A and B are shown apart, each in its own frame.
Chain A
Amino acid sequence: DQQVKQNSPSLSVQEGRISILNCDYTNSMFDYFLWYKKYPAEGPTFLISISSIKDKNEDGRFTVFLNKSAKHLSLHIVPSQPGDSAVYFCAAGEETSGSRLTFGEGTQLTVNP
């Protein structure tokens, strides 16, 4: 039972354009969502998060949007840069379950110069 799903295994965009990465979840108890970025043969690094009481959170070029009714979140990167090329994982957690997170399958983003 995949509770967090990233339906696009890969995404390719041109440098300077917007990258939009999508994530869907099925567990309505999730109340915190995070995005991680991962380069090959390295551990993931935290990028941005959003609480279920918000619908948007912004940090520089990165913005995460949350649509609770649709159980959907998205990560927007504007403008995209070649260094953004990596695998992006979304993750979700619920406060009552402590600190464990459920991760999606990941989306490989390639930003072409």
Chain B
Amino acid sequence: DGGITQSPKYLFRKEGQNVTLSCEQNLNHDAMYWYRQDPGQGLRLIYYSQIVNDFQKGDIAEGYSVSREKKESFPLTVTSAQKNPTAFYLCASSFPSVFNEQFFGPGTRLTVL
């Protein structure tokens, strides 16, 4: 049963703490992505990776970090430098071409108190 998973679904953290969101896929996709969704702003790209051990900044990378040590995994760390971390975070994966659709996980709602 192939798919993309994100855990947990809801996450609460205190201000000033780093937090890592997990994303795992077993679709054998080379490319993986992290998006942030805020009301009225659509999906904004944070980071993406087209291949293992390589990743690029998206449009809003400040205050975030990623790693891509395995094909199946692309964890996102929200650091204390991110000014407005409370949001809905979506992970996606695809084959490495714009002509291939991206498959999304169910998302993680992060709330920083």
* Residues in A lying within 8 Å of B, measured CB to CB: 6, 9, 31-32, 34, 36, 41-46, 49, 51, 89, 91, 93-95, 97-106
Contact = CB atoms under 8 A, between A and B. Distances in A.
B104 interface: yes
A35 to B, nearest CB: 10
Contact of B58 (A94, A95, A100): A100
Say which size band chain B's interface belongs to: 20 to 34
Given A43-B106, A43-B107, A97 B98 contact: yes
A100 B92 CA distance: 11
A100 B106 CA distance: 19
A34 B101 contact: yes
Contacts of A98: 31, 50, 96-98
A46 B102 contact: yes
Contact of B102 (A42, A101, A104, A106): A101
Interface string B41-80: 1111100101000001010000000000000000000000
